[in-house]
Each structure stands twice: as C-alpha cells, then as structure tokens.
Amino acid sequence: MAIVGATGAVGEEMRLCLEQRNFPVGKLTLLASARSVGKRFPFRGEEIAVEELTHDSFAGVDIALFSAGGSISLEFGPSAAAAGAVVIDNSSAFRMDADVPLVVPEINPQAAKNPPRGIIANPNCTTIISLMALAPLHAAFGLEAIIASSYQAVSGSGAQGIRELEEQVKAITAGLPFTPKVYPRQIAFNVIPQVDVFTDNGYTKEEMKMLYEGRKILGLPGLKVSCTCVRVPVYRSHSIAITAQFSRPVDVAAARAAYADQPGIQVVDDPAERLFPVPLDTTGKDACLVGRIRRNLVLDNALDLWVVGDQVRKGAALNAVQIAELL
C-alpha cells in the first residue's frame, strides 16, 4: 500500500486510520515531494522514511491512496493504475469521470466494484458530510432539493490554512500588521463567503461540487442544489446547515428514526438540554453528528438540519480507507 501526499494533513490522517483500523497492510510506502525525502513517520511501532514520488513508485503496490492535489493525481494516478494498483484519489481530478466511481461506503458501496480505469474517487469533504445526513432521509422521504450553507474549517485548506489562522490570531493580539496569503481576506475573527474559485454562474467550484457530486453519488440526476460555502476560523470539522425538500410528506420523529442503526452518523438533538453538534465534538472522530432537525416553515415536505463532521477524517482520510476496506 502507498500514500501519496503522506506528509500532508490528509496523508497523515490516512496513516493513522490504517493503523487504528488495523488495515491489513503488508508494506506501507510513504510518498511526497523531494522536499520531504527522509522525513520519518511512525507506523505500527516502526519508522517509515518518506520517499520522493516518481512514476516508478508503484511496483508491487496493491492500493495507492492519493492526497497531494489534483495535478499530482492527474500526472501520477494513471501510472499507479498501470502498475496494477487500485488508486483511491482524494482530489477532484477524476470525480466527474464517467468511468471513475465516486464512493461514500455507507451510501453507494456497490459502485466501488471493478472500477474500469483502476481509479476510485473520494468525494468532496462538504459533500460527504452533507450526504451522510441526507442519505437516510432520502431513503425515507425521497430527496428532491437541497439548500445549504457550510461553515468550513481552515484545515480544509491543508497545513497552510491552519498556519494562516494561527499567525493572524498571534499578529492581531500582538497589534502587528499581517497580509492574508491563503485566503482572500482576514480569516481570524472573521468569516469569508468564498471557498475555492468562482465560476461563471456566481457560485464557487466548491458549491457546484455539492450539486454534481451529490447527483452522482445518490444516482439522482434531477437533484436540485443551491449552496453557499463559507470559511470560518475553526481549526477542524466542517458544519453544514441544510434545508432539504422531499417528494413525500416529512415527519420529524420519522426523520430521527431514519438514522437508527445507520453506520457513521449519530443524532445529537435535544435543544432543551442545549444538545446539538459542534465542530469540537467531531474533531478526530469517525462519526458525523446531526441535530437541529425540524420541519422547515417555508417549503412543503421540507426539513432543516445541522450536520457536523471531521472533514480531514470522514471527509477525506477515513472515507478513503473505508473504500480500501471495500476492496
């Protein structure tokens, strides 16, 4: 098994997930850029040295977990597949390729079977966490439309996002000047309604991923989605406020019941006791949490809900390792 991008926020979490879930790894190869060669990371009581990613890195590798950005996946993913590895890719490079399955193991595990190009894509993190909450409701009521706003942590931008928030908090509290580098505006003590770049229709790429990827994963080509993605000064775990409209009448008790026995999602919903999920509740955890479930006051057959999940883990590394487990 190999991890490409092993020194990154997601790559490091992949290594942890493999160890914590006791995944049957024979040899683990850690790959990154030339900058990281020689860095060492622990795995099952041993230290593994990082090697430079090349087109020859994949001889003898059964499964290659890619998490080094879209351009690296496009360049090296096909080499890994040609060498006989199944590629599980965490970038957006292959997600909308008709011959590349897009998989959330709790929702569409069957799609992972026999990937035609030897590549399986991990969906966008906000999409995974949102669909973890929506798939059980879709089964109960028939999902037709989603209106959502996300509250996305800075670790969604990798190690550099965490650094930017830390540095700005320090500079502001010390009264020192600073220049935003990673985000278009100050992120400390602020929120920014831009995640990824804007497209021609006024939505960002991140917002459109929820539409395109949601349709593909749920097998609902007519699903309507309108989304506003917002970066917030939270270190880890994304939250999403969702209004979901269904084809059949909804009922709050039936919605809560729809989550019973569903793996990977738990209901935390007792507002009278101030019980609702917050990002710190899911940080470092596998399960997504859903709460604030209520009937929408504007639309027919619609529910409002609030879902939170660790986007480095269920939104990326854990989901990829779960796909590997399916294989």
Which residues have a catalytic role annotated? 125, 238
DSSP state of 121: E
Token output for 193: 């309604």
The reply on whether position 16 binds ligand NAP by CB under 6 A is no
- Give CA–CA dist 60/1, Å, rounded: 8
User: What count of residues does the chain have?
Assistant: 327
The reply on whether position 309 binds ligand NAP by CB under 6 A is no
Token output for 293: 């479930």
Strands, E, within 13-142: which ranges?
A: 29-32, 40-43, 46-49, 51-52, 63-66, 86-89, 119-121
Which range binds ligand NAP by CB under 6 A, 19-27, 95-103, 157-165, 218-226?
157-165
Q: Kindly give, in sequence order, each residue whose CB lies less than 8 Å from that of residue 315, ignoring residues fewer than 6 positions away.
A: 124, 125, 126, 128, 129, 156, 238, 309
Q: Least distance in Å: CB of 35 to ligand NAP? A: 4
Which range binds ligand NAP by CB under 6 A, 97-105, 155-163, 269-277, 301-309?
155-163
The reply on whether position 9 binds ligand NAP by CB under 6 A is yes
Which range binds ligand NAP by CB under 6 A, 5-13, 40-48, 54-62, 110-118?
5-13
Q: Which residue of the chain is nearest ligand NAP when measured via CB?
A: 8
- Give CA–CA dist 294/311, Å, rounded: 24
Per CB under 6 A, the list member of 36, 168, 239, 322 interacting with ligand NAP is 36
CA distances from 19 to 13, 46, 58, 324 (A): 10, 12, 21, 13
Per CB under 6 A, the list member of 28, 32, 107, 255 interacting with ligand NAP is 32
Q: Kindly give, in sequence order, each residue whose CB lies less than 8 Å from that of residue 45, ignoring residues fewer than 6 positions away.
A: none
The reply on whether position 187 binds ligand NAP by CB under 6 A is no
Q: Least distance in Å: CB of 258 to ligand NAP? A: 26
Closer of 233 and 250 to ligand NAP (Cβ): 233
Per CB under 6 A, the list member of 20, 33, 54, 199 interacting with ligand NAP is 33
Buried b (16+ CB within 10 A) or exposed e, 20-46: eeebebeebbbbbeeebeeeebebeee
Q: Kindly give, in sequence order, each residue whose CB lies less than 8 Å from that of residue 269, ignoring residues fewer than 6 positions away.
A: 256, 275, 276, 290, 291, 292, 293
Q: Least distance in Å: CB of 112 to ligand NAP? A: 18
Per CB under 6 A, the list member of 10, 28, 188, 290 interacting with ligand NAP is 10
The reply on whether position 11 binds ligand NAP by CB under 6 A is yes
Per CB under 6 A, the list member of 25, 43, 51, 69 interacting with ligand NAP is 69
Question: Footprint of ligand NAP on this chain (CB under 6 A)?
Answer: 5-11, 32-33, 35-36, 53, 67-70, 72, 90-91, 125, 155-156, 158-160, 311-312, 315-316
